[in-house]
Amino acid sequence: MLRIALLTLLALPVLAQDRVGAIQLRVSTDHADWRYAPGQPVRFRIVALQDGHPVTGLRVTYRIGPEMMPPKIDQTVTLPDEGFTVEGGTLTEPGFLRCIATVERNGKTYRTVSTAAFTPEAIAPTQTNPTDFDAFWTAGKAALAKIPVDAKLTPLPDYGNSAVECSQVNLQNIGAGIAPSRLYGILCEPKAPGKYPALLSVPGAGVRPYRGLAAMAAYGIVTLQIGIHGLPVTLDPTVYESLAAGALNGYNTFGLDSRDRYYFRRVYLGCVRANDFLTSHPKWDGTNLAVTGGSQGGALSIVTAALDPRVKGLAAYYPALADVTGYLQNRAGGWPHMFRATEGPLAHRSSDKIATTAYYDVVNFARRVTVPGFYTWGFNDETCPPTSMYSAYNVIPGRKQLTLALETGHNNIPEQVAEVDAWLRNFLRAAN
C-alpha cells in the first residue's frame, strides 16, 4: 500500500508557482559619462528585469525631450527580452535631454529616468540681475540689525549625547510687516570647554520638526539647525502635517507679487539672524563659520554665503530656487516651478511676480559668492533640474568643487553625505 501511494504521489503533475517581485526598469545613455557635444546624437538603452532576469512582453512607453519640457518623442512598444535601444535625438545648445520610461505590471506602474548632458558648464542663466539688488538686501540687513536678537534657550537633554548638549533656540527675526517674528532652531554644542568653529544648517522645503546636528557637533563644531516658518521645531509631528496641508500649503509663492512681502524675505534674513546668534556664542572661535543644506537648504546655503560676509564656506546639495525664469524661455526652471504653468491657479506669469523673483533667485546670489564651496547633485533630478543648478553654479566666482552622483534624482546617497560631511569638517578644521 505504501509503494502504491508513493507512486501515485510521484505521478501527480507539478503545479505552477506564482512569483512576485519589483520590476527593475533601467534606462541608460550610450556614453558612460552621460555627456555629449551639441549636435551629437544620444541613444538610450531600455531594459526591464525581475529577479535579475529579463521580463518578457512588457509594453513600455518612453518619452524623450529637453528636461521638464513636452516630449519630442512619445512612443509605446513591446519590450524585447534583451531590451532595446532608441534614438533620442540631440540638443543644439547646452542643456539636458531626458528619457522617461514607464511600464505597467500587475496594476503597478514602474518609472525610470535617464538624462544626457550637453556641455552643462556652458549653460547661462535666464534670470535678470537687478541694478539695485545689493541695495535692496543691504537695506534688509540694516532693518534686521535694528531688531534685538533676544535669544531664548530651552535645554533638550534627550537630543544630545555624552559629548554634546542641545537646546531649542528662539530668536527674534524680522517680520513680514512692522512687528518682528521669531526664528527657531536646535543648537548643538560640545560640552568640553574651548573655542570651536560654527556650522549653520538650513532646511529643505516643507514643514517639519528638527533634531539638530549632534553627530557633527561631536567633532568639535557648534551647530545650529533652523526652521524657517517661525514655529518651534520640537512640536508633535501632527502639528506640522496640519500646517503643511493648510496654512502653509504653497508658502513658496506667498507674497510673490511684491519683493517686500515675498515669503522668503523673512527667510533669507532669518539665516543672517541665525548667524548673529552663532557668532555671539561664547564657544565660537571668532573666525570660522560655514553653512550647509539641501534643496531649499542648498538655495539658502548659497544665499547666506552671499549675504553674510561672516560665512567662510558652504556645502550645498541640489540647490533650489535657481533660474526660476527658465520656463519663460522654454527651458527648465528651478523649484518651486512657479512659472511652469501658463494658465490656471498655479500660473504666476505676471510682470510683478517675475520682477520679484530677480531679487530672490539663487542665480543672483551665486554671482556674489566668493567663499569656497562644495556642491553636489545628480542629472536625473526632476525637482531641481540640473539646467537650473548649473545656471547658478556656472556664475559663482569663488572657489568651487562639484561632485556628481549622476543617476540620482532629488535625493542623496551615502557617498555624497560622507563627502559633504568630510569637506565641512576638513574645511572648518583647516580654517582653524
Instruction: State the catalytic residues.
Output: 295, 381, 410
C-alpha dist (Å) from residue 384 to 82, 141, 294, 390: 33, 28, 10, 10
Grid cell listed for 407: 543617476
209 cis-preceded (ω within 30 degrees of 0): no
d(CA 407, CA 164): 36
Q: CA-based diameter of the chain, in Å?
A: 100
DSSP 382-413: SSS-HHHHHHHHTT--S-EEEEE-TT--SS--
C-alpha dist (Å) from residue 255 to 122, 174, 319, 354, 357: 33, 16, 22, 12, 11
Degrees to nearest 5, angle at CA 410 with 405 and 416? 35
Helix axes 263-278, 296-307, angle to 10 degrees: 60
Q: Which residues contact 290 (CB under 8 A, 6 or more apart)?
A: 197, 198, 199, 200, 311, 312, 313, 314, 315, 424, 427, 428
C-alpha dist (Å) from residue 388 to 8, 320, 323, 358: 70, 8, 5, 14
Phi, psi of 385 (to 5 degrees): -55, 140
Burial class of residue 179 in the structure, from the number of CB atoms within 10 Å of its CB (0-12 exposed, 13-18 middle, 19+ buried) = exposed
d(CA 369, CA 359): 15
* CA 117 from centre of chain: 19
64 touches 97 (CB < 8 A)? yes
